[in-house]
Amino acid sequence: MAEQQWRLMGWDTFEGSAYPLTEHEDEEAAIGASRERLHALEISQPSEISGGQTGIQDQVFIIRPDGSRYRFQCDCPICNRPK
């Protein structure tokens, strides 16, 4: 893919290690994919067991084309269910 891609990186909170996810043409696509990834994590690592995004559930980071990154946090009801 092109050098100016937006990339997603997963962070395994339990193991303390990063893993690559996907690449996207722009930030909007990266945000959409991040939201989908967090929804999938809520199914595979439910907040009731993992503690959610404040517990040991994996995290998702968006890496900008310049290499800087930020943690994506979804504010939807799926990702913010009570623990």
Q: Please give the chain's pLDDT, 83 residues, in tens.
A: 446 899 999 999 888 999 999 999 999 999 999 999 988 888 888 777 777 666 668 899 999 999 999 999 888 777 766 55
Q: What is the DSSP string of 5-28?
A: -EEEEEEETTTTEEEEEEEESSHH
Which pLDDT does position 81 carry in this prediction? 60
Tell me the β-bridge partners of 9: 20, 61
Which pLDDT does position 44 carry in this prediction? 84
pTM of the model: 0.82
